Chain A
Amino acid sequence: GESVGLHLPTLSVQEGDNSIINCAYSNSASDYFIWYKQESGKGPQFIIDIRSNMDKRQGQRVTVLLNKTVKHLSLQIAATQPGDSAVYFCAENTGTASKLTFGTGTRLQVTL
């Protein structure tokens, strides 16, 4: 079936460096994507979203890139901080108010 997946299960970066978390999706009909951050014992926290009519979207310290040709999504975190340590999920959606399909997550570890 259609699925969303992540290339790397764990990513370790030094404080101050930039982080790049990747995600591959397989449903070509998906037209909306979200990145969530989930800290231990908490629910997923919305970070940034992007619609399929865009290639790039920037937020505060975060940038999401969408490559529809290869069905690839990435989250870039600038100047990674210890507070960024968490599991990051990408999720795809194919219709307003419909379900999100999540990948398995990438754990980001920030070392001092």
Chain B
Amino acid sequence: EAGVVQSPRYKIIEKKQPVAFWCNPISGHNTLYWYLQNLGQGPELLIRYENEEAVDDSQLPKDRFSAERLKGVDSTLKIQPAELGDSAVYLCASSLPGRREQFFGPGTRLTVL
């Protein structure tokens, strides 16, 4: 069974530019999470989806961050415009309905110059 797929794996952009990350969860996992991980720290939740509905976006900086999961499967996280402080690893995770185990993808490492 394929794991959570994320792309790109690495992205380098200049500040004020837009950037987008894509995630395809494990098949059958209706819950999808986007986490932010700064160097040396644990992941922090940005947004959680149940199917196509964002049920927890309280930690998402909505002035510059947006996310979508239109068909309830894959998802895109966007930053516009990017700031220097956005440099981090963006992780996507998914879980089965009613289950608590979250399975993570490899992440996208973003560097903002």
Interface residues of A (CB under 8 A from B): 4, 32, 34, 36, 41-46, 49, 89, 91, 93, 96-100, 102-105
Contact = CB atoms under 8 A, between A and B. Distances in A.
B42 A102 contact: yes
Interface in B78-105: 91, 93, 95, 97-105
A100 B36 CA distance: 12
Contacts of A41: 106, 109
Contacts of A4: 42
Interface of B: 4, 31, 33, 40-45, 48, 50, 56, 91, 93, 95, 97-107, 109
A103 B100 CA distance: 18
Nearest to B104: A43
B42 A96 contact: no
Contact of A105 (B42, B50, B91, B97): B42
Contacts of A42: 106-107
A97 B48 contact: yes
Given A42-B106, A44-B104, A99 B41 contact: no
A21 B97 CA distance: 30
Given A89-B42, A103-B42, A104-B42, A97 B95 contact: yes
Contact of B104 (A32, A45, A105): A45
